[in-house]
Structure 1
């Protein structure tokens, strides 16, 4: 690990950059409407105005927004009933049968997540018949997010250098290559090379390309020139989310190191104004002429059942196991001739069997 907590002694410069980015990392329920707005660097990929949150708000029609960072759903009845599901919290996405009040038994998108030590399951049903967009778009965007982690996550000892050159990411540009950069993670230091790009700072050892670190600007907490036992050093502190590393580097002469510091600091600040999260997705289906897709308006033959006000914890409806880690009492079921866990109120064995 290239953590040098001994390097900095006296601070000479410090500033702030992109921070408080929670949209792709967290799951939030019934958030203030302002939190539904897209942050800087976040953009909408697709929207569907007839989607049901089948697990938590079965029977309610809502709108689903797919961005490059998260899924946003809100109820048409009241936008304060909403969800924000960050892609970083998603474990798996599957398509299975579900029981919808508005569509009956139908195919739905199951999204299994983990956040703050708890697992949550979300079920989204597209109320527009014969439309695969809900399945194809979300799965494709999630894959795009999952395969672009180098834009957002600090990486140690990655396969990022080939023949002494940095493997550039899509839309990444190298602004400077600096030779003669010492990494101060050991008593003797390691001589290497900086690559300064528009999305990250990369260092690798000249004698071992696999001894490297990729630091996205997204994970930088501070950049400073501070005193160390090796003399003045360029010190980069990363966010707690990325491990809270303190990385020390030295470049001679000092004037050259200050020029490098100014360049990195400037790119870091530019990135903060408009972060690049790396997710690049283009809708392949070209829109058809309006005349070819216009159909006569019809009224859905469905009955929306108003649910009674429930003051229980909003998280409970989305727990992956349906409970808060508690087992229900086992009872004898005469039809099965077996002892089973007591069913929750309002749930029958026939209903569970029909889902299976």
Structure 2
């Protein structure tokens, strides 16, 4: 499950509708109409969709233009208030995001007055995502306990405790206990609180019992994106091991049907404000699904290069030119940009 989860770990441009609809466990937390993608599609009215895994922007005028920005890619987020002649005080959010080998900058401007709708939900959901990593990431030797009690996560429920569990790592056994919850499997040492492991069900590929040099063991295989660990535990007697295996297998199946990514957000009442869409198929309601699916996968829009934080995609420097404003040589700005527009985040008003 975890190895196929890309929504929170990638930045994608102009993707087909099947990648814009919600995957299992993904929830639409807020929908903000009348938002402009100022850097890549200035002047194009769009909709910003906040989910528990990512931030989506899509154009309301062209079904082929969209952005999907995973929360885990975001390095920096700045929210500002701006004044416009048409709408008065409005919100703007500037994002710096990073994938494996590229950095991108995005600027979203709310075209509605701040009194009717702001972009604060984007900040709140990102904070919730960053503070809930134990729901999604394997953790070794973490501060998991308070005394001898597990620090329970906000949406977590402890299902059972299993004492007398031997951790078989490093070719030796260390005695400890399982703490089994609705979102993860935790093992803690009986003698050292810092010797522990927290394994979210999201990162478990399979759980099984097999023979080892320590006898019959419970084996937990983890996803490649979490390190590809294969962890062995011994529980005596064998009947008890089988009971634990059955319980964990059942919880893993239940979790896979309704994944819990741990991101919480309580939306303020929108009474008297803009009407928001909460259906996961809002894209199909706005455009025909046939139009959206016709967008070829892995094709970027013409505005793709505009989002690059370093200004180019190849990693090579552009040709140098002489700048009269600075009195020195600089890289030639991208097409459609001036030195002034690149320097200013918010364009200054013309007198």
Alpha-carbon offset, residue 311 of structure 1: 8.4
Alpha-carbon offset, residue 353 of structure 1: 5.4
Instruction: Decide which of 312, 318, 322 is 1:332's aligned counterpart.
Output: 322
Distance 1:132 1:323, change over 3 A: farther
Partner in structure 2 of residue 267 of structure 1 = 251
**Unpaired segments of 5 or more residues in structure 1?**
1-16, 295-309
- Structure 2: how far apart are the matches of 1:104 and 1:117? 39
Give yes or no for contact 2:3–2:225 (8 Å, CA) kept in 1. Answer: no
Partner in structure 2 of residue 281 of structure 1 = 265
Distance 1:130 1:312, change over 3 A: closer
Partner in structure 2 of residue 116 of structure 1 = 100
Partner in structure 2 of residue 341 of structure 1 = 331
Alpha-carbon offset, residue 155 of structure 1: 0.4
Say yes or no: does 1:86 pair with 2:70. yes
Partner in structure 2 of residue 70 of structure 1 = 54
- Structure 2: how far apart are the matches of 1:162 and 1:311? 48
Instruction: Give the TM-score of the pair, scaled to structure 1.
Output: 0.83
- Structure 2: how far apart are the matches of 1:193 and 1:41? 29
Q: For residues 119-160 of structure 1, what are the alpha-carbon distances to aligned partners after superposition, in whole Å with 9 as ceiling and x for unaligned? A: 111111111123585431111110011000001100000111
Q: For residues 196-252 of structure 1, what are the alpha-carbon distances to aligned partners after superposition, in whole Å with 9 as ceiling and x for unaligned? A: 110000001100011000000000011111111111110001101101001000001
Partner in structure 2 of residue 13 of structure 1 = none
Instruction: Decide which of 29, 42, 46 is 1:45's aligned counterpart.
Output: 29
Give yes or no for contact 1:29–1:314 (8 Å, CA) kept in 2. Answer: no
Q: What is the Cα-based RMSD across aligned positions, in Å? A: 2.8
Instruction: Decide which of 184, 196, 214 is 1:200's aligned counterpart.
Output: 184
Give yes or no for contact 2:89–2:114 (8 Å, CA) kept in 1. Answer: no
| 1:186 aligned counterpart, secondary structure | helix
Say yes or no: does 1:316 pair with 2:305. yes
Alpha-carbon offset, residue 314 of structure 1: 5.5
Report which stretch shifted further, 200-209 or 331-340: 331-340
Say yes or no: does 1:219 pair with 2:237. no
- Structure 2: how far apart are the matches of 1:266 and 1:58? 50
Larger C-alpha radius of gyration, 1 or 2? 1
Count of equivalent residues: 322
- Structure 1: how far apart are the matches of 2:90 and 2:328? 30
